[in-house]
Amino acid sequence: MQKQELIPHLFRTEYRKIVAVLCRRFGFDQMETAEDIASDTFLAAAQTWAFQGVPPNPTAWLYNVAKNKAKNHLQRNTVFESKVSPEVKINASEFHELDIDLSPQNINDSQLQMMFAICHPAISPEAQIGLSLRILCGFGIDEIAEAFLTNKETVNKRLFRAKEKIRNEKLKIELPSPAEIDDRLENVLTTIYLLFSEGYYSVSQNQTLRKDLCFEAMRLCNMLIENNSTNKPQVNALLSLMCFHASRFEARLDKNGEHILYDDQDVSLWNADFISKGAYFLKCATTGNVLSKYHIEASIAYWSTQKKDTKEKWENVLQLYNRLLQIAYSPIAALNRTFALSKANSKAEAIVEAEKLKLTDNQFYFTLLGELYTDIDNEKAKSNFKIALSIARTSADKQVIQKKLEMLQ
């Protein structure tokens, strides 16, 4: 790795670990202090390594500096004892003995507990995702603002309110009790899936696919699987779903970064290893008696890795969508069902079902209608594609719709 790329890479991988460990040691209400110490550590690295060169073990160097900065902060902060919860209070004479445990096991435990703390029901869903991006994934404020299609000021205010809520509610960094894990786990999985979805279909202004977001979501999900108390069927189902989607990353974009539709993708670019992992985690998800939306979506995603356009495939997908709508209805799932219906039965039947949805503010609704009407009523097809083009959110979507219009011309 090039020298100029090393610190940004380490920031992405190590910042979150340092913050999680320090928050767990100091208390959740000291998050800003933990962030400051972690940021100062990387600033010191940038300044020192520029003159002295990169140390033999950069990660160990960062951990050692972070430990020393944490100890120095406690020594000079005279109000420390009045701000930190009683269970972590220590005498000034003991500061030099303070242990900041940055062992792999403590890092994993701290990040797992932080994940559940951030996804506490008291924190709003948007703030949960923002904090997850910042604390668990090491994203900068600029990157979070871009992911949410907003500005830095809005993101900072959102994170500030979330941190205020953490302080007021006196939330702790810890795993919930076994009886509470399942309830809290739903919020955690929702946040992870939203993070993956933002990467898989990015609405940022310069990228269609954000692999970094997708892989961060998969990393967080894998962390849940590695812990016995959170290794649940629905967690395995979600990781399976993400693996199946990730298998087609390289086939989704052409050399110019333009989106390639599923039917036009080069199957040789699909990642067989991810498909195999998806099948493995889907099998792991079959234990117990839980059937979550992730189980069904993973099963649908499995069929997407089967390129052959057979009636059996689409009949299976249609039945899966029927089940999904029963347990977790959403307009997008209903829209996707009509596409499966057109493949399994007929376009005419799908048009009737699609028009019942009346999703008139959704570009994909009009794009689907354009597809369904093609070769049945090309004028209606063009009309729907034009509406979709007018409300499309990204340049990639507009390019795809424009090409469909040109083919009809």
Say if CB 159 and CB 127 are below 8 A apart.
yes
Report the chain's mean pLDDT, rounded to a whole number: 86
Tell me the CA end-to-end span of the chain in Å, nearest whole number. 49
For 92-106, write each residue's pLDDT tens digit: 444 444 578 888 888
For 285-297, write each residue's pLDDT tens digit: 998 888 999 999 9
User: In percent, how much of the chain has pLDDT > 90?
Assistant: 48
For 347-361, write each residue's pLDDT tens digit: 999 999 999 999 999
Q: Examine the pLDDT at 18 and tell me if it is beyond 80.
A: yes
Q: What is the mean pLDDT of residues 368-396?
A: 93
Q: Examine the pLDDT at 10 and tell me if it is beyond 80.
A: yes
How many Å apart are CA 148 and CA 223, to the nearest integer?
A: 25
Q: Examine the pLDDT at 150 and tell me if it is beyond 90.
A: no
How many Å apart are CA 109 and CA 97, to the nearest integer?
A: 22
CB atoms within 10 A of CB 211: 14
Tally of residues, the chain = 409
Coil, helix or strand for 362? coil
Say if CB 21 and CB 107 are below 8 A apart.
yes
- Predicted local distance difference test score (pLDDT) of residue 234: 96
Cite the DSSP H helix spans in 253-357. Answer: 272-284, 293-304, 311-327, 331-344, 347-357
Q: Examine the pLDDT at 205 and tell me if it is beyond 50.
A: no
- Predicted local distance difference test score (pLDDT) of residue 41: 96
Alpha-carbon torsion (357, 358, 362, 364), positive or negative:
positive
Instruction: Give residue for tokens 């992405």.
Output: 12
Tell me which of 121-130, 132-141, 143-152 is least confident: 143-152
- Predicted local distance difference test score (pLDDT) of residue 83: 52
Say if CB 310 and CB 279 are below 8 A apart.
no
Tell me which of 1-15, 203-217, 227-241 is least confident: 203-217
| Residue 1 confidence class, pLDDT cut points 50, 70, 90 | low
Tell me which of 26-35, 83-92, 335-344 is least confident: 83-92
- Predicted local distance difference test score (pLDDT) of residue 207: 57
User: Radius of gyration over alpha carbons of the chain, in Å?
Assistant: 24
For 38-71, write each residue's pLDDT tens digit: 999 999 999 999 999 999 999 999 999 999 999 8
How many Å apart are CA 10 and CA 32, to the nearest integer?
A: 20
Cite the DSSP H helix spans in 201-310. Answer: 211-225, 233-246, 249-252, 272-284, 293-304
Q: What is the mean pLDDT of residues 177-183?
A: 82
How many Å apart are CA 88 and CA 22, to the nearest integer?
A: 12
Q: Examine the pLDDT at 221 and tell me if it is beyond 70.
A: yes
- Predicted local distance difference test score (pLDDT) of residue 209: 62
For residues 400 and 261, which has the higher predicted lDDT (pLDDT)? 400
- Predicted local distance difference test score (pLDDT) of residue 137: 79
- Supply the pTM of this predicted model: 0.81
- Predicted local distance difference test score (pLDDT) of residue 91: 47
| Residue 88 confidence class, pLDDT cut points 50, 70, 90 | low
Domain boundaries, the chain: 1-102, 105-224, 359-409
In 3-state terms the chain splits into helix, strand, coil percentages (rounded to 5) of 75, 0, 25
| Residue 149 confidence class, pLDDT cut points 50, 70, 90 | low
Q: Examine the pLDDT at 386 and tell me if it is beyond 90.
A: yes
Q: What are the Cα distances from residue 44, in Å, to 9, 39, 41, 61, 102?
A: 16, 9, 5, 10, 18
| Residue 202 confidence class, pLDDT cut points 50, 70, 90 | low
For 315-343, write each residue's pLDDT tens digit: 999 999 999 999 999 999 999 999 999 99
Q: Examine the pLDDT at 277 and tell me if it is beyond 90.
A: yes
Q: Examine the pLDDT at 237 and tell me if it is beyond 60.
A: yes
